[in-house]
Amino acid sequence: MSWTRRDFLKFSAALSTGALAGPLLACSPSTVSRGSIPESLAALRERRLDYRKARAVPTICFGCTTHCGVIGWVQDDRVRLVEGNPLDPNSQGTICSKANGMISYTDYPERILYPMRRVGPRGGGRWKRISWDQALDEIADRMRPLREAGTPERFVFHYGRDKTKGFSKRFTDAFGTPNRLNRRSICSSNRRAPLMSFYGREFEWESQDLERTKYVLNFGGNPMEAYQGGLFMRKRLIDAKVDRGARIVTFEVRPSATASVSTEYHAVAPASDGAIALAMARTIVDEGLADRAFWERWANWDFDEMRAHLEPFTSAFAEAESGVAATDIERIAREFARSAPACCTMSNRGSAKHYNGVQADRAIRMLDVLVGNVGRPGGFCLSSLRMWKNRYGQEGLPVIDQPAPRPHAPKPWKPGTREFETLPRDVQERVRAFPEEWQERYFGELATPSEYPLSWHWYAMRVGQLVHPYIQQRRQEVDVYMSYTLGAAYGFPEARLAREVLTDEALIPFHVAIDVSYGEQAALADIILPDATSLERWDAHSTNSYGLRPYTGIRQPLVEPLGEARPAQIIWRDLARRIGGGMERYFDFDDLEDYYRAWYAELPIDWETFKARGIWMDEDRPLDYELHEREVPAAEVARAEIDPESQTLFVQKDGKRHTIGIVRDGRPVRGFPTPSRKIEVRDETFPLAARLTGLPASDINASAVPTYARVPEHVDLSDDEYVLTTFKWNVHTQGRSAYWKHAAEIVHTNPVMMAPVTAERLGVATGDEVELTTYRPKGASDRSGERDPVGRLRNRVRVVPGMHPRVVACAHHSGHWEHGVVARGGEPTIASARVGMNADTSELDALAREIWWSKDRGGVGHGVAINDVYPINPAPLVGGQNWFDNVCRIRRVSGQKDPRTRA
């Protein structure tokens, strides 16, 4: 069946009016039992999707963290195709290849379908299938005594991709543990902290107005490959460039997919982004191109003081640091400023995942403030994000909240409590020196490590890569460790350390893993519980809107869970009921649909219409431009007081001052949700945190204002040292998609990429084998002072023109030893681990024969696991992992001779 554009528009219109809410959009899941996979893969492939027989059900994609609205086509109780939902204002009906990955992991032959208990030593790969009652009773019997003894903190919950919108927190809060841990430091905390510092904790993500922009200044952002909200940006970026002539300038260490579609690409020295941004800021100020009126109205830093601070950061200085010509830096700065306000910056891991990355992103953010594009059409916009945290909308707009009751667990780690007194003396002294408001957010060394206070000052970003080292150091005694969709045993830096801790029963006596597939993390559990996939479950959905009009969506089941898999919400509900002691009152529901119907009770459309559409948005709501200029309602002003010095409006609540706005030109407006209600380009939080944790005042991360210094380990690199970076392919989701066959066929290996001049220097060519040795980082991130090797790996070379000559790059999604036959490059999972998978040998053998890239068939294989050699390297204060700072040495193992030894 082929559709014309007219057909598509008719379908979109029908969706928006609910005209297809009958048989085509029947949203209730099938009642047919899916206890086993009745057909072989070959038989499934022979059955083509027949649109006349299929149901179209809207849901939310979970192929990655972007979460696009999609429509799944269901036929014969199988999801056969996933397409974009045109009602989603972010993705606008588009999808990427990862969307159909949901089908791959739902029908994957080696998917976990039944609860399993290990037999023999942990990690030995031997399992026994057990019932849900057996599994839940055993887990509850382990957890209940912790709560009854008043030591709930000895239960540690560690999640990877938790998109249950607070449901897991409902469980951990009800249990009473503060140790609800994530992996955010591995991903995004270094770039979230500058945003929240500048604009307030409500704005952990920006929403550039790419539909109307004329100029995009991109520092290490890569929406064409991997980016939070990347798909939302791709179409808008290309439309802006092709249809409206917008310029896209990218600074990156390698020719990424985003660099390839940019107007300009500059290969920069690693971690030099901050130098470039500050030099551009100086050019803008020196040449009178700054929007001084905007700066003086909304920035909290004196303009002349800022000008003086920029004096050392000349374009010549930035050229020496980055390799980008000074004339180009100045030209681009002028072009950017003259495009204002229809211009915006973009940054991501390329700029932020460095020792100096937090300050680099602060310098990049300062460019937007200087040219006055914040909140303006085509500029650097800040959507009001989640609808139930909408403090910036107009009066009368609906606010959606979770259904009551909401659990509010006591905070057991405040100074003076039993738990606090068990901490080491130096930790107690450090915490007692924190401001009172910081102390109130402190919950112990796992959830809120005192050495990294800015990892929890604005938002619960955690420091996930330190969880296992801290457990190994016994900073927290653990009795029960529950991992949920977490891949630390494979994907964390120094992942071997995570495996050592997870294997040691003296450190972690009991490990429960909840997941869809049998990965490296689940392989080290004592009990594995099978999770429902995103095509089989309910979830509320919200994210920042690149359409600048908040919206909400619903993930709903298209099919029943395979085998005995259950949605995580049901697993936690049933566990809470078994543990008892009052936990059960927070889980007083039997049906998940009823739970989410109550969640959306205030939505101004009925539940069935919402399910039929999948997305709701108030089309009449004004776009989220200049939220900071919106007036505070008169009723709030009447209850508020005004600070005569700062002109901020505030109310007293629970004995504390809460700012609600600021007076500008005699008008009470919202401003930004920062303490000053201004953009805090100068933030004294950084030097305060440095002083409290013992970080030298001279360290770049201790600066109150955006500044620049080289990454310590990049200073005086020797001729044989290179910077090892990593990245994500656009068809994969970290290491979680290696078993999706359609994705693995596109990218199944991860060679070491290097520039031609680098290959020539090393005497290697594409296909040759090299050995990389990585070393411990310098600086405050590593206090040992030793420059010891971290690890070694061998891999093949791929020569890539356009890379920076001091950089080598290797994607980190490959080389799995678990996750099944596809991820293992044709090698089946050991038989004993398949007891909970219901996969017959003939089907797996057939699948293995299709792995044409396996080494047994003469292919390149499934790549190399590289994360063991990346050192644990948290950025000072914030704790984000510095993935891109790694110094390595390279030696040729096979291939060309070293050119220095040739005759």
- Tell me the pLDDT tens digit for each residue of 30-63: 333 344 444 455 555 556 788 888 999 999 999 8
Give the pair of three-digit tokens for residue 400.
């959606």
The reply to whether omega before 756 is within 30° of 0 (cis) is: no
Q: Are 155 and 482 in contact (CB under 8 A)?
A: yes
CA distance linking residue 281 with residue 297, whole number of Å: 18
What's the confidence (pLDDT) of residue 404? 42
pLDDT at 902 over 60: no
Q: Lowest-confidence range among 115-119, 300-304, 850-854, 895-899?
A: 895-899
CA distance linking residue 423 with residue 506, whole number of Å: 20
Give the pair of three-digit tokens for residue 468.
């296992």
CA distance linking residue 630 with residue 375, whole number of Å: 11
What's the confidence (pLDDT) of residue 709? 97
Mean pLDDT for 154-181 is: 90
| Cα–Cα distance list, 772 to 734, 790, 803, 865 (Å) | 21, 11, 18, 13
- Note the pTM of the prediction, 2 decimals: 0.92
pLDDT at 782 over 70: no
pLDDT at 28 over 80: no
Strands (E) in 750-800, as ranges, are: 752-754, 769-775, 789-799
CA distance linking residue 732 with residue 98, whole number of Å: 7
Q: Binning pLDDT at 50, 70 and 90, where does residue 205 land? A: confident
Q: Other CB atoms closer than 10 Å to residue 312's CB: what's the count?
A: 12
Cβ burial of 434 (10 Å; 0-12, 13-18, 19+) is buried
HSE (CB half, 13 Å, CA atoms) of 130?
Answer: 19
Mean pLDDT of the chain: 88
pLDDT at 599 over 90: no
H/E stretch holding 190 reads helix 189-199
CA distance linking residue 617 with residue 546, whole number of Å: 13
Which residues 6+ apart lie within 8 Å of 203 measured at CB? 195, 196, 382, 385, 672, 673
Domains of the chain, start order: 209-383 (3.40.228.10), 627-669 (no CATH), 712-901 (2.40.40.20)
CA distance linking residue 710 with residue 704, whole number of Å: 17
- The residue among 165, 138, 143 whose CA lies nearest residue 153 is 143
What's the confidence (pLDDT) of residue 34? 41
What's at 744, amino acid-wise?
Answer: A
- The residue among 30, 31, 41, 64 whose CA lies nearest residue 110 is 41
Residue 554's beta-bridge partner residues? 540
Give the pair of three-digit tokens for residue 900.
């220095």
Helix (H, G, I), strand (E, B) or coil at 412: coil
Query: How much of the chain exceeds pLDDT 90, in percent?
Result: 70
Q: What is the pLDDT of residues 124-165, one digit of tens each?
A: 999 999 999 999 999 999 999 999 998 999 999 999 988 888
- The residue among 613, 229, 235 whose CA lies nearest residue 385 is 229
Q: Other CB atoms closer than 10 Å to residue 801's CB: what's the count?
A: 8
pLDDT at 384 over 80: no
